[in-house]
Amino acid sequence: VFAFVVQFFRDPPRPIPQGAKDVLSPADGRIVAIEPVRDPYLDRDCVKISVFMNVFNVHSNRIPVDGEVKQRWYNAGRFVNAALDKASVENERNALHLVTRDGQDVTCVQVAGLVARRILCYVEPGAKVARGQRYGFIRFGSRVDLYLPPGTRARVTIGDKVSASSTILAELP
């Protein structure tokens, strides 16, 4: 049990790519969705990329782009399996509206999973953030959804394994 807990709460340093238009993975895990959808927070058309974290992944969440936190929303909710699409709208979640230095809107949503019962977020509106910066943590299995501007080009495919802050998920238009 001790080894599992130590393994779960690890938070290793990672290399951080510096491409100006690169969107970095906010979490370790597996890509479970890449699709055009409507951003439920900013009410806009967008590209959604979702990363599912199982209990063996690092659960520290990282900022995907350089910019500023404009808004933060928290929604209490259920705890269904985070690998399912309905988790994005039914589960407990914490969303950040980030605006990049060149004015692109990015919504980054922490979603609690079946076992997860606690989402931590360390940033507030007005905070200047940098790609790769640790901004939160979700305990025991969950997902992170990114809502990106139309014209964003995905650089991953469904099923790919990704690492927080070192994997480039997409390129902004």
Listed residue (103, 72, 93, 71) closest to 143, CA to CA: 93
Task: Read off the tokens for 75.
Answer: 């929604």
Nearest to 55 by CA among 170, 145, 138, 160: 138
Sheet with 119-121, edge to edge strand ranges: 60-62, 134-138, 119-121
Cα–Cα dist 11/133, whole Å: 12
Going by C-alpha positions, the residue among 9, 87, 7, 103 that lies closest to residue 48 is: 87
Cβ burial 135-150 (10 Å sphere, 16+ → b, else e): bbbbbbbbbbbbbbbe
The residues that are catalytic are 142
d(CA 27, CA 45): 23
Q: Are 97 and 71 in contact (CB under 8 A)?
A: yes
